[in-house]
Amino acid sequence: MQEFVVDLAGVRDAEAMHDALAARLPLPSYYGRNLDALYDVLTEFGNGWRIVFRNAGPVADGLRDVCRGAMEETDGLEVFFEDEKRKDETMDNEVLKALRERRSVRVYRPEQITDEELKAVLEAGTYAPTGMGWQDPWIVAVQDPAIVAQLVRMNAKVMGTTSNPYYGAPTIVLVFASPTDKVSFSICDGTLVLGNMMVAAYSIGLGSCWINREREMFETDEGKELMRKFGLPDGLIGIGSIALGYPAVPLDPAKPRKPDYYRIVK
């Protein structure tokens, strides 16, 4: 296998692209300096060639199509575009994969997660970005069955139900922060902490689900007493929580994303 590396850095037009091809590939003297001619050369001589294109910009779009077509017609011809490889690696890295695949879990197995798993999730929360780098949020993981039951009852009362708002998860992770009149971005900070922990949980095989109503729960006298029991500073507000545990059922695939979810303005 002969390997040829063609660097297209700085190439801005077809003429410069064909100059680069002629400089790096053993093209015949009658090469016509157009993509049809390149296709003919690759299909006639390309058996045993491995061509690697680097820094291929928009001018190379037609080149990609020609090379793909030639590979389909020619045994032993291999053509790679390194930017495509990097794109594939970028979209398939473990962080983006976890972001795409994470789902809210609403059925949990009863057994408790390990200390190592819990600490990994909590530490991920501590690395969420915070305004001005103040690290304003506070994280409290609750595994004591009596306090878990108390939180279930308090949340259900706010919700107006008798069901378990935490879906039977053995661990509840609460996030608190300063009131917005003291730290204007505190709710945003706490939300980012919760998001980090949910993605981290999925990445190590745990399930999680965002749970609301913590603000109302901890505005009550009972809630304030619990916050003192947790050793938290006075005056914090509840931002939210996650139910955390081992999923008891397979995760559903993602719903299709709406087609106009994002847009790019250049």
Instruction: Give the CATH number for residue 153.
Output: 3.40.109.10
Residues 35 and 113 in one domain: no
Q: Are 139 and 201 in contact (CB under 8 A)?
A: no
**Does 57 score more than 80 pLDDT?**
no
Residues 163 and 216 in one domain: yes
Residues 82 and 148 in one domain: no
Nearest in space to 40 (alpha carbons), one of 1, 79, 66, 12 = 66
| pLDDT tens-digit series, residues 67-116 | 999 999 999 999 988 876 555 555 568 888 899 999 999 999 999 999 99
Percent of the chain residues past pLDDT 70, beyond the cut: 96
How many domains is the chain built from? 2
Question: 174 in a domain, yes or no?
Answer: yes
Residues 118 and 204 in one domain: yes
Q: Token pair 């910009």 is at which residue?
A: 57
Residues 46 and 161 in one domain: no
Residues 154 and 232 in one domain: yes
Dist. CA 141–CA 210, nearest whole Å: 14
Percent of the chain residues past pLDDT 90, beyond the cut: 74
Residues 146 and 226 in one domain: yes
Domain edge (last residue) among 61, 89, 117? 89
Dist. CA 220–CA 82, nearest whole Å: 59
What is the chain's length?
Answer: 266
Dist. CA 78–CA 202, nearest whole Å: 38
Here the tokens at position 160 are 């107006």
What pLDDT does residue 70 have?
93
Domain assignment of residue 35, given as a range: 2-89
Question: What are the E-state strand segments in 111-206?
Answer: 138-142, 171-177
Dist. CA 91–CA 113, nearest whole Å: 30
Residues 82 and 175 in one domain: no
Total Cβ atoms within 10 A of residue 35: 17
Question: 251 in a domain, yes or no?
Answer: no
Question: 15 in a domain, yes or no?
Answer: yes
Residues 36 and 104 in one domain: no
Residues 161 and 124 in one domain: yes
